[in-house]
Amino acid sequence: MDVNILVGGAAGQGMDTVMNLLGKTLVRHGYEIIYTKDYMSRVRGGHNFSRLRIAAQTPWTPVNMIDILVALNEETYLNHISNLSPTGRIIFDPDSFSLPAEERRGLPVELLKLAKEHGGPVMANTVAVGALLVMIGLETGTTEKLLEEFFAGKEGIAEENINALKAGYKSASRKCDACFDLPAVKSDVKKLFIEGNQILGMSALASGCRFLSAYPMTPSTGIMNYLASKSGELPLVVEQAEDEIAAINMALGASYAGVRALTVTSGGGFSLMVEGLSLAGMTETPLVIIVAMRPGPATGLPTRTEQGDLSFVVSAGHGEFPRAVLSATSHEDAFYRLNKAFDLADRFQVPVIFLSDQNFADTHRSLEPFDFGRLTYNRYLVEENEINKPYKRYEITESGISPRALPGQYPGEVVLIDSDEHDEKGNIIEDAKTRNLMVEKRMRKLALLADEMDEPDLYGDTQPERLILGWGSTYGVLREAVDALSAAGIKTAMLHFSDLWPLPRRRLMSLLPHVKKSYCVENNAGGQLAALVRKETGIPVNRLILKYDGRSFMPDEIVREVERDGK
Amino acid sequence: MVNNFMLGETAWCPGCGNFSIREALAEALDELEYKPHEVLICSGIGQAAKIPHYLKVNGFNGLHGRALPPAIGARIANTRLKVIVESGDGDSYGEGGNHFIHNIRRNPDIAHFVHNNQVYGLTKGQASPTSDPGMKTGIQVSGVVHPAFNPLLTALAMGAGFVARCFSGEKEHLKETMKKALEFSGYALVDILQPCVSFNKVNTFGWYRKRVFFPELNALDDWSQAVKLSLQWGEKIPLGIFYNKPRPTFESSQKVLTGKALIDIPFEPKELSKIQEEFI
Ligand SMILES: Cc1ncc(C[n+]2csc(CCOP(=O)(O)OP(=O)(O)O)c2C)c(N)n1
Ligand code: SF4
């Protein structure tokens, strides 16, 4: 069983509403789904679409083939008709455009007319959901309940939507009775239906983050929205800074004073934050920065995806200082990994950059509920009986990690941090000896950090002839590609990185030199992971499979490229 | 009386206007009975911004122009800290101009003391945003051509609740004004005329002394009077608190900042696991 739905229309027509409602309905029925968005950088008009794939087992990525095409406008129909399967169906509104006479797959539903009859034109989406439910053989009950939850407190609205839903259902059922009958699945297990940005926001909260300062920038804004929605009920402050420079400096102030702090942005905003990143390095102030990548340079493609900032974040900042770079891979892993980012930041008193991207940020999927008990929360602060008085913020230690106290924590003791080179107490110095001691103290932490990096995930053939390297949000697509290649008899494995800097090397060194052919799959034009691997290990990757059109990979693109080298 | 805040040597030039500002602040903090560990000074970069090194206080000596943002962050994290921002005119009005403007709107409980020497001291005498037109420097070789930035007028226009001007040569007045600013609920700006004896050969102690005066003020919440005073510059330069009228602070707009300090609220990840229920 595998059903692929694509809903498309102009921005502002509310594809999100359709997909959220349908997605949550499906998950409550027990199906596994993935839902991704493709949208333009405009608020109205243009061409936006969302894909939703339903399966009995975890679908890792959307695919090109379409079973049900919901065309809210004619452009959607024209753009996507070539991918519609021979048995596919097209839901469209006969009042807004008509299909060619020979097109027999059409299923006309008067979306707008029915919506107007039951509440208003905005409910056209709900009508469409009703029609979709018929086509996959589901009753409207679960969706009705969801609409009640959605519009709780706004009574009339829930009722109107339910009527619109039923109207869509009724209208479509006359024409198509369960065109794609989904098999029954276990529906008593509770699953989440959640997107990447929400996962990161939730993980930050559950990691004890109490302060977010950020300046809105797609695709990171969803994290800010999620956290802002929680700031009324939980001990959390979200402040929209005047710019990214303020955002990172505010977060550093909050971290210095004692709360776990976060800032989120995308490449352009991170560029502005780089000075503050260097300040975090010099002052040894813990900070987590989520960089949700989008194609650059400059403003690039604001709503599209890319993995173009790895080289930048690994080396960003003036001067030398230790940092860690982790990335969002699978939705499940990202929840626990961001917790690790907070832990590393506090433990080593360093900035930690967490790389996400639009593909991860905007993708919803069904997931097992998270185990919050697996998260760690330790602040690594010094106890009063362990400090030398007067307190020295930058005491030289063997590990390079100085005992960290907070301002105001111990009466009589003050905490001084400085962006200038400083002595153990934090006071400005210029002498060569202290400078050396401080540089060495800070840099000693790099080796400790390297020990904390998780080795890349190995998946696929245990004795691979082909090895595919990847990182970040391509995790799912690579898994599906490896499965497809293995099924085709090509001994393939993938090595997928979630921790990127300091680069973990053990598995790389033990595998990469021994395979017949190696590939690196990246959503960028330069092959940045491959370059990093080469720089750190001296080993080149044989072939780069790159994509930089702002869209994420589909498994067949990777399979095709690997198959070019023969079976 | 021993001052709890004065500390060690400074790297300022002999005769610099910064010295009495440091003393005034140390005395103000002592007289208000603060303890060093309760006070945080955030500063940027410049001669003035070195002050957290010269007082016994918690200090965040960050980046050029960036003193205000960490101050707000720290204030949000721990409302038990008395947060002060201390910096130069280049730092606060030039590099940090955007933060200056937006923090007036934000109105956090922070006292902002600007050492305004109308020149860049640490980088050796370039014009600053407050330099008077005509001042010649190594860079402004034919003299400053742009009109001077008026911090007090800007602050008033942005809705600041506490706006004052002091002179480093009037230490008692400075100290008393600082005390009022420290006790003010919300953002308080004190622009302090501070002669730079090394690089500003125009606005010297004598130049200021000849001009400064204390105007009679009939009310502290008279905004148009404050605006008039802020516009007065040249032969006569008024000193004093031009405006003092509190308005709701940033902290009061955030429920979580009005009870316990954020850093004091206990936390256990497991207790939050119910937040995922909205996604089921
Ligand atoms: C980003 C950045 N740009 C420039 C400098 C160089 N710089 C250091 S202090 C300073 C000006 C200081 O002037 P002001 O704030 O008026 O303070 P003063 O030294 O006069 O007290 C400049 C430009 C810097 N440290 N950082
Ligand atoms: S350069 Fe000017 S401001 Fe700096 S210490 Fe010397 S006199 Fe003071």
DSSP B53-66: GTBSSEEEE--TT-
Q: What is the C-alpha to C-alpha distance for residues B268 and A208, in angstroms, rounded to an integer?
A: 8
- For range B191-196, the mean pLDDT: 98
Query: Residue A456 corresponds to which tokens in the numbers above?
Result: 């890349």
Q: What is the C-alpha to C-alpha distance for residues A141 and A118, in angstroms, rounded to an integer?
A: 18
Atom of ligand 2 nearest to the CA of B15: 7
Name every residue whose Cβ is closer than 8 Å to that of residue A144 and which is 6 or more positions away in sequence: A162, A165
Return the pLDDT at A455.
98
**Residue nearest to ligand 2 atom 4, measured at CA:** B121
Please state whether beta strands B237-238 and B212-213 pair in parallel, antiparallel, or not at all (unpaired): parallel
Calculate how close chain A gets to B95, using CA atoms only, in Å.
Answer: 11
Bin B264: left if φ > 0, else alpha if -120 < ψ < 50, else beta: alpha
Site to substitute for ligand 1 among B10, B16, B50, B64, most atoms within 8 A of C-beta: B64
Cis amide bond preceding B14, omega within 30: no
Nearest to A369 among B36, B257, B276 (CB): B276
Site to substitute for ligand 2 among B192, B198, B203, most atoms within 8 A of C-beta: B198
Within 10 A of B156 (CB to CB), how many other CB atoms are there?
23
Cα angle B265-B269-B272, degrees, rounded to a multiple of 5:
85
Return the pLDDT at A169.
96
Query: Residue A313 corresponds to which tokens in the numbers above?
Result: 């974040």
- Report pLDDT digits (tens) over B2-27: 899 999 899 999 999 999 999 999 99
Handedness of CA A32, A78, A21, A140 (dihedral sign): negative
Q: What is the C-alpha to C-alpha distance for residues A65 and A84, in angstroms, rounded to an integer?
A: 6
**Residue nearest to ligand 2 atom 8, measured at CA:** B16
Model confidence at A560: pLDDT above 90: yes
Percent of chain A residues topping a pLDDT of 90: 90
The angle, 0 to 180 degrees and rounded to 10, between the axes of the packed helices A155-173 and A141-150 is 150
Q: What is the largest CA-CA distance in chain A?
A: 87
Mean of the per-residue pLDDT values for chain B?
Answer: 97
State the number of CA atoms in the 13 A half-sphere of A140 facing the CB.
Answer: 23
Query: Could A417 and B268 be called an inter-chain contact, meaning their C-beta atoms sit closer than 8 Å?
Result: no
DSSP A457-492: EEEE-SS-SEEEEEEGGGHHHHHHHHHHHHHTT--E
Query: Could B69 and A194 be called an inter-chain contact, meaning their C-beta atoms sit closer than 8 Å?
Result: no
Question: Quick check: CB of B64 below 6 Å from ligand 1?
Answer: yes
Within 10 A of B35 (CB to CB), how many other CB atoms are there?
17
**Residue nearest to ligand 2 atom 1, measured at CA:** B121
Ligand 2: centre distance to CA A452 (Å): 47
Question: Quick check: CB of B130 below 6 Å from ligand 1?
Answer: no
- Establish if B55 touches chain A: CB-CB under 8 angstroms: no
Question: Quick check: CB of B128 below 6 Å from ligand 2?
Answer: no
- Report pLDDT digits (tens) over B54-97: 999 999 999 999 999 999 999 999 999 999 999 999 999 999 99
- For range A401-406, the mean pLDDT: 98
The rounded Cα A179 to chain-centroid distance in angstroms is 33
Percent of chain B residues topping a pLDDT of 90: 98
The burial of A566, by beta-carbon neighbours within 10 Å (0-12 exposed, 13-18 middle, 19 or more buried), is given as exposed
Q: What is the C-alpha to C-alpha distance for residues A164 and A170, in angstroms, rounded to an integer?
A: 10
- Report pLDDT digits (tens) over A306-315: 999 999 999 9
A251 pLDDT tier (thresholds 50, 70, 90): very high
Atom of ligand 2 nearest to the CA of B197: 7
Return the pLDDT at B1.
66
Model confidence at A177: pLDDT above 80: no
- Report pLDDT digits (tens) over B254-274: 999 998 999 999 999 999 999
Query: Could A237 and B101 be called an inter-chain contact, meaning their C-beta atoms sit closer than 8 Å?
Result: no
Return the pLDDT at A334.
98
The interface predicted TM-score (ipTM) is 0.98
Interface with A, mutate which of B12, B37, B255 (most A CBs under 10 A):
B37
A:B CB pairs within 8 Å:
203
Query: Could B77 and A276 be called an inter-chain contact, meaning their C-beta atoms sit closer than 8 Å?
Result: no
HEC per residue, A160-180: HHHHHHHHHHHHHHCCCCCCC
B residues 227..266 contacting A (CB < 8 A): 254-257, 262-263, 265
Query: Could A373 and B270 be called an inter-chain contact, meaning their C-beta atoms sit closer than 8 Å?
Result: yes
Comparing A54-58, A127-131, A422-426, B151-155, the range with the smallest average pLDDT is A54-58
Atom of ligand 2 nearest to the CA of B11: 5
**Residue nearest to ligand 1 atom 20, measured at CA:** B121
- Report pLDDT digits (tens) over A160-172: 999 999 999 999 9
B residues 98..127 contacting A (CB < 8 A): 98-99, 101-102
Contact assessment for residue A257 and residue A230, using Cβ atoms and an 8 Å cutoff:
no
Query: What own/partner pairs with CB < 8 Å and gap ≥ 24 does A536-541 have?
Result: A536/A503, A536/A505, A537/A503, A537/A505, A537/A508, A537/A509, A537/A512, A539/A508, A539/A509, A539/A512, A539/A513, A541/A469, A541/A512
Model confidence at B249: pLDDT above 80: yes
Q: Which amino acid is at A173?
A: S
**Residue nearest to ligand 2 atom 5, measured at CA:** B12
Comparing A40-49, A420-429, B84-93, B207-216, the range with the smallest average pLDDT is A40-49
Identify the helix (H) or strand (E) that includes residue B31. Answer: helix B18-31
- For range A216-245, the mean pLDDT: 97
A77 pLDDT tier (thresholds 50, 70, 90): very high
Query: Could A417 and B59 be called an inter-chain contact, meaning their C-beta atoms sit closer than 8 Å?
Result: yes
Nearest to A250 among B69, B275, B279 (CB): B69
pTM tops 0.95, yes or no: yes
- Closest to A426 (Cα-Cα) out of A399, A405, A449: A405
Interface with A, mutate which of B4, B51, B58 (most A CBs under 10 A):
B58
Query: Could B268 and A377 be called an inter-chain contact, meaning their C-beta atoms sit closer than 8 Å?
Result: yes
Chain B residue numbers with beta carbons less than 8 Å from the beta carbon of A274 are none
Return the pLDDT at A310.
98
Q: What is the C-alpha to C-alpha distance for residues B64 and A74, in angstroms, rounded to an integer?
A: 55
